[in-house]
Amino acid sequence: MTPPRRLLLVNGPNLNLLGTREPAVYGTETLADVERLTADAASALGYEVRAVQSNHEGVLIDAIHAAREDCAGIVINPGGLTHTSVSLRDALTGVELPFAEVHISDVYKREEFRHFSYLHDVAAVRVVGHGVLGYAEAVRELVAQLPD
Protein backbone atom coordinates (compact mmCIF):
# COMPACT_ATOMS: atom_id res chain seq x y z
CA MET A 1 0.00 0.00 0.00
CA THR A 2 1.35 3.43 -0.97
CA PRO A 3 1.69 5.75 2.03
CA PRO A 4 -0.38 8.94 1.85
CA ARG A 5 1.36 12.02 0.48
CA ARG A 6 -0.20 14.41 2.98
CA LEU A 7 0.99 16.07 6.18
CA LEU A 8 -1.15 17.50 8.93
CA LEU A 9 -0.08 20.95 10.12
CA VAL A 10 -1.26 21.64 13.66
CA ASN A 11 -0.99 25.06 15.30
CA GLY A 12 -2.10 25.34 18.90
CA PRO A 13 -3.51 28.05 21.13
CA ASN A 14 -2.80 31.69 20.35
CA LEU A 15 -1.04 31.00 17.08
CA ASN A 16 -4.03 32.54 15.31
CA LEU A 17 -2.59 35.82 16.64
CA LEU A 18 0.66 35.51 14.69
CA GLY A 19 1.57 38.79 13.06
CA THR A 20 0.16 40.87 15.90
CA ARG A 21 1.09 38.92 19.05
CA GLU A 22 4.45 40.00 20.45
CA PRO A 23 6.10 40.65 17.08
CA ALA A 24 9.50 41.04 18.75
CA VAL A 25 9.23 37.38 19.81
CA TYR A 26 7.16 35.78 17.03
CA GLY A 27 7.76 38.08 14.05
CA THR A 28 5.24 39.75 11.80
CA GLU A 29 4.25 36.79 9.63
CA THR A 30 0.64 35.67 10.03
CA LEU A 31 -0.83 32.21 10.46
CA ALA A 32 -1.84 32.35 6.79
CA ASP A 33 1.83 33.02 5.93
CA VAL A 34 2.89 30.01 8.02
CA GLU A 35 0.32 27.78 6.35
CA ARG A 36 1.41 28.92 2.88
CA LEU A 37 5.12 28.48 3.69
CA THR A 38 4.47 24.98 5.03
CA ALA A 39 2.32 24.00 2.05
CA ASP A 40 4.97 25.31 -0.37
CA ALA A 41 7.75 23.36 1.37
CA ALA A 42 5.64 20.20 1.34
CA SER A 43 4.59 20.66 -2.28
CA ALA A 44 8.23 20.92 -3.35
CA LEU A 45 8.64 17.41 -1.91
CA GLY A 46 5.45 15.99 -3.43
CA TYR A 47 3.23 16.37 -0.35
CA GLU A 48 0.09 18.32 0.35
CA VAL A 49 -0.84 19.84 3.70
CA ARG A 50 -4.05 19.94 5.69
CA ALA A 51 -3.87 22.72 8.29
CA VAL A 52 -5.70 23.12 11.57
CA GLN A 53 -5.36 25.78 14.25
CA SER A 54 -7.40 25.87 17.41
CA ASN A 55 -7.36 27.38 20.84
CA HIS A 56 -9.16 24.24 22.07
CA GLU A 57 -7.12 21.18 22.93
CA GLY A 58 -9.86 18.69 22.04
CA VAL A 59 -10.14 20.07 18.49
CA LEU A 60 -6.40 19.53 18.02
CA ILE A 61 -6.60 16.00 19.44
CA ASP A 62 -9.51 15.15 17.13
CA ALA A 63 -7.54 16.42 14.12
CA ILE A 64 -4.53 14.32 15.16
CA HIS A 65 -6.72 11.24 15.50
CA ALA A 66 -8.21 11.86 12.04
CA ALA A 67 -4.70 12.17 10.54
CA ARG A 68 -4.21 8.46 11.15
CA GLU A 69 -6.53 7.82 8.20
CA ASP A 70 -4.84 9.90 5.50
CA CYS A 71 -1.59 11.53 6.61
CA ALA A 72 2.00 10.32 6.55
CA GLY A 73 3.17 12.65 9.32
CA ILE A 74 2.41 15.71 11.42
CA VAL A 75 4.08 19.09 11.83
CA ILE A 76 2.97 20.65 15.10
CA ASN A 77 3.52 23.86 16.97
CA PRO A 78 1.59 23.08 20.14
CA GLY A 79 2.00 26.58 21.57
CA GLY A 80 1.50 26.65 25.33
CA LEU A 81 0.22 23.07 25.30
CA THR A 82 3.87 22.06 24.83
CA HIS A 83 4.44 22.54 28.53
CA THR A 84 1.12 21.30 29.91
CA SER A 85 -0.57 18.63 27.84
CA VAL A 86 -0.08 14.95 28.45
CA SER A 87 -3.28 14.43 26.41
CA LEU A 88 -1.70 15.99 23.32
CA ARG A 89 1.36 13.80 23.77
CA ASP A 90 -0.87 10.73 24.13
CA ALA A 91 -2.74 11.62 20.92
CA LEU A 92 0.51 12.02 18.98
CA THR A 93 1.99 8.76 20.23
CA GLY A 94 -1.35 6.98 19.89
CA VAL A 95 -1.71 7.60 16.15
CA GLU A 96 1.81 6.29 15.57
CA LEU A 97 2.65 8.90 12.94
CA PRO A 98 6.06 10.56 12.96
CA PHE A 99 5.85 14.20 13.88
CA ALA A 100 7.94 17.35 13.94
CA GLU A 101 7.68 19.72 16.90
CA VAL A 102 8.18 23.36 15.89
CA HIS A 103 8.65 26.49 18.00
CA ILE A 104 9.06 29.87 16.36
CA SER A 105 10.97 31.40 19.26
CA ASP A 106 13.93 29.90 21.06
CA VAL A 107 12.09 28.57 24.08
CA TYR A 108 15.43 27.93 25.85
CA LYS A 109 16.12 31.67 25.91
CA ARG A 110 12.74 32.48 27.44
CA GLU A 111 11.05 31.83 30.78
CA GLU A 112 12.18 28.66 32.51
CA PHE A 113 8.75 27.00 32.32
CA ARG A 114 9.05 27.06 28.52
CA HIS A 115 12.18 24.88 28.61
CA PHE A 116 10.15 21.70 29.23
CA SER A 117 8.24 19.95 26.46
CA TYR A 118 5.99 16.93 26.87
CA LEU A 119 6.75 16.14 23.22
CA HIS A 120 10.53 16.47 22.99
CA ASP A 121 11.38 12.82 23.63
CA VAL A 122 8.79 11.38 21.22
CA ALA A 123 9.15 13.84 18.33
CA ALA A 124 10.96 12.56 15.23
CA VAL A 125 12.12 16.13 14.51
CA ARG A 126 12.44 19.27 16.66
CA VAL A 127 12.99 22.74 15.24
CA VAL A 128 13.31 25.50 17.82
CA GLY A 129 14.01 29.19 17.40
CA HIS A 130 14.23 29.45 13.60
CA GLY A 131 11.23 31.74 13.22
CA VAL A 132 8.47 30.75 10.82
CA LEU A 133 11.10 29.33 8.46
CA GLY A 134 11.36 26.54 11.02
CA TYR A 135 8.12 25.12 9.65
CA ALA A 136 9.69 24.56 6.22
CA GLU A 137 12.78 23.08 7.87
CA ALA A 138 10.56 20.73 9.88
CA VAL A 139 8.75 19.62 6.72
CA ARG A 140 12.02 18.83 4.96
CA GLU A 141 13.45 16.94 7.93
CA LEU A 142 10.22 15.01 8.54
CA VAL A 143 9.70 14.04 4.91
CA ALA A 144 13.30 12.83 4.73
CA GLN A 145 12.38 10.26 7.39
CA LEU A 146 9.18 9.04 5.69
CA PRO A 147 9.08 5.94 3.50
CA ASP A 148 8.98 6.61 -0.24
Q: How far apart are CA 13 and CA 8, in angstroms?
A: 16
* Assigned domain for 69 exists: yes
Least Cα distance to 128 among 54, 77, 91, 86 occurs for: 77
pLDDT, position 3 = 63
Q: Which amino acid is at 103?
A: H
Residues of the chain with pLDDT under 70: 1-3
Is 104 within any annotated ligand binding site?
yes
Tell if the pTM clears 0.85, that is, is over it.
yes
61 annotated as ligand-binding: no
Count structural domains, the chain. Answer: 1
* CATH number for the domain harbouring residue 114: 3.40.50.9100
Query: Which residue among 47, 56, 65, 103 is the active-site one?
Result: 103
**Residue 77 labeled ligand binder:** yes
Examine the residue annotation and report whether 26 is marked as an active-site residue of this protein: yes
User: How far lies 60's CA from each of 5, 8, 124, in Å?
Assistant: 21, 11, 19
Residue 1, in any domain of the structure: no
Element (H, E) at 144: helix 133-145
Known binder of ligand: residue 54? no
What pLDDT score does 22 carry? 83
Q: Tell me whether residue 118 is one of the annotated catalytic residues.
A: no
In a domain, 16, yes or no: yes
Q: Is 105 flagged in the annotation as binding?
A: yes
Q: Determine the pLDDT at residue 2.
A: 64
Q: Which member of 26, 47, 118, 135 is catalytic?
A: 26
Q: What does 17-75 look like in DSSP terms, one character per residue?
A: GTTTS-HHHH-S--HHHHHHHHHHHHHTTT-EEEEEE-S-HHHHHHHHHHHHHH-SEEE
* pLDDT in the model for residue 1: 56
Largest CA distance in the chain: 46
Containing domain of residue 138, as a range? 6-145
Is 106 annotated among the ligand-binding residues? no
Q: So what's the pLDDT on residue 83?
A: 87
- Alpha carbon distance 125, 77 (integer Å): 12
Looking at residue 119, its pLDDT comes to: 95
Is 37 a domain residue?
Answer: yes
